[in-house]
Amino acid sequence: MDTCWSLSRGPAHGGSGCRVLERNDMRKTIGLLCVVACVSSIPGAFAQDQPNWVMTRPHVDDQISPFVRRILEDSTGNFWFGTNGDGVIRYDGNSLEYFSVDEGFGGVAVRGIVEDPEGSVWFGTSGGITRFDGETFTNLTEQDGLASNDVWSLFIDSKGVMWVGTLQGLSRFDGEVFTSFELPEAEPDYTRGVTSARIVHSIMEDSRGRLWIGTNGGAYIYDGELLTNISEEDGLCSNAVNCILEARDGSIWFATHHQGVCRWDGTSFTHFGAPDGVDGTEVWNLYEDRSGNIWFPVEGPGVYRYDGTSFTNFSAKDGLASHAIQCIYQDNEGRLWCGGWMGLYRFDGASFVNVTSEGPWR
């Protein structure tokens, strides 16, 4: 629980040893940026559960980062952008500030951001968990009881318990200690490049207080006592579940890695595909906006919006240059943001605007 000021390059544990090159002013990368990421997070990558694959790409100087994968606006109005190699970026309404391992931040890849009731912001990274209390970073790792330093999802439930999804299963944090929450080991799916079913990609609490856990072995429902598995045998479109969402009508949506999106109404599954106007199979995120529209990105085709009746696709023709969006988020003013490969985008109601280090932020 001590504040750790690490001067090492790359993940604090389990990393590839990739070196992140120096920045002139911590805002730009010189030359080639070495991005440490899970294979599945890069377009055209290999197996889904290989977390420390390294890739070099030219850095696009005007983007806030080559890969934005998580977005959160905190209670004070600061925006936090989790990246796939630049640590985390904070925008306070005036300027951008970058935090990575040199500033005491836990890891270079950020895969989860949540704010607790006390106003601390927590980050799930490639090097463990990092808490920011407004002034300092505190890093928590396997040495503190975390199941793995390779964190893939974060969630704080209605009781204030933090759930941490990692490469090696699920951990529960009560504010003092981590305890392992055992999930049954599912069979790997080697035909799809899934060599481990322990990775936890998504955690969600529904309106009945049940916890939904998305893994490479399907989805699990935990009601406080019993743990129930839902898999392809039950009609789930794919066992590789990347995100789970409860819509306002009570239906449960699943974003999967191999078979797109499906919806469960409590009795049966509906799979949305090409006949419904949805192309592609790799979906990483689901988001319901204030108007009840369901948004999700599909690698290749772009972003889809479902209004309850039909799907609308947004792609390069609508200003969305990235074909690999990974997160969608609506801020306190109702503006919709998308992050992914090739940076950050904002939806203006009709099309997307690329938000670079120079803006436009409004």
Has residue 110 got a pLDDT over 70?
yes
pLDDT band for 362, please (50, 70, 90 cuts).
Answer: confident
Q: State mean pLDDT over 135-140.
A: 96
As a three-state string, the secondary structure of 322-357 is: CCCEEEEEECCCCCEEEEEECEEEEECCCCEEEEEC
Q: Residues 6 or more apart from 133 whose CB is under 8 A from it?
A: 119, 120
- In tens, the pLDDT along 7-27 reads 222 323 222 222 222 223 333
pLDDT of residue 190: 62
Q: What are phi and psi of 302, to 5 degrees?
A: 115, -135
What pLDDT, on a 0 to 100 scale, did the predictor assign at position 185?
Answer: 74
Question: Look-up: residue for tokens 């406080």?
Answer: 224
pLDDT in the model for residue 43: 39
DSSP state for residue 212 in the 8-state scheme: E
Task: Say yes or no to pLDDT of 245 above 90.
Answer: yes
CATH of 32-355, one of 2.130.10.10, 2.60.40.1120, 3.90.550.10, 2.60.40.1930: 2.130.10.10
pLDDT reported for residue 189: 62
Instruction: Count the neighbouring beta carbons within 10 Å of the beta carbon of residue 32.
Output: 11
- φ and ψ at 103, to 5 degrees? -95, 10
- 196 vs 199: CA distance, rounded Å: 7
Q: Is the peptide bond before 58 cis (omega within 30 degrees of 0)?
A: no
Does the pLDDT value for residue 160 go beyond 70? yes
User: What is the b/e burial string over 135-156, where b = at least 16 CB atoms within 10 angstroms of the residue's CB?
Assistant: eebbbbbbeeebbbbbbbbbbb
Mean pLDDT of the chain: 84
Q: Which of 15-29, 134-148, 218-232, 266-280 has the lowest mean pLDDT?
A: 15-29
**pLDDT category of residue 357 using cuts at 50, 70 and 90:** very high
> How many residues can be counted in the chain?
362
- The per-residue pLDDT for 8 is 28
What's the pLDDT band for 184 if we cut at 50, 70, 90? confident
Residue 350 has what pLDDT?
92
What pLDDT, on a 0 to 100 scale, did the predictor assign at position 4?
34
Better-scored residue on pLDDT, 25 or 221: 221
Question: What DSSP line would sit under 45-109, residue for residue?
Answer: -S-TT-TTEEEEEE--TTSS-SBEEEEEE-TTS-EEEEESSS-EEEE-SS-EEEE-GGGT-S-S-
pLDDT of residue 51 exceeding 50, the answer is no
Hey, what are 266's tokens?
Answer: 């409590």
pLDDT > 70? residue 45: no
**CA gap 190, 258 in Å, rounded:** 13
- Give the separation between CA 65 and CA 82, rounded to whole angstroms: 9
| CA-only gyration radius of the chain, Å | 19
pLDDT exceeding 90 applies to what percent of the chain?
75
Q: Where are the domains of the chain?
A: 32-355
The confidence score (pLDDT) of residue 60 equals 54
Whether 287 and 293 have beta carbons less than 8 Å apart is answered as no
Tokens at residue 158, please? 């209605």
C-alpha 147/C-alpha 261 separation (Å) is 29
Please tell me the predicted confidence (pLDDT) of residue 187. 67
Asked if residue 32 has pLDDT above 80, the reply is: no
Average pLDDT over residues 299-310: 97
For residue 188, the model assigns a pLDDT of 61
pLDDT digits (tens, 9 = 90+) for 64-101: 999 999 999 999 999 999 999 999 999 999 999 999 99
Question: Which has more confidence, 114 or 184?
Answer: 114
First to last CA, the chain: 39
Please compute the mean of the pLDDT values over residues 183-190 and round it to a whole number.
71
User: pLDDT value at position 25?
Assistant: 31
- Cross-strand pairs, 329: 337
Mean pLDDT of 255-264: 96
**Residue 237 CB neighbours (<10 A):** 24
Instruction: Give me the mean pLDDT over the 190-206 stretch.
Output: 78
Q: Show the tokens assigned to 52.
A: 């420390």
Average pLDDT over residues 108-132: 97
- Higher pLDDT among residues 194 and 58, named by residue: 194
Which residues, including other chains, have CB under 8 Å from residue 113's CB and lie 6 or more apart? 70, 71, 72, 80, 82, 88, 121, 122, 123, 124, 154
% the chain with pLDDT above 70 = 80
Q: Are 139 and 128 in contact (CB under 8 A)?
A: yes
Instruction: Classify residue 280 by its DSSP letter.
Output: -
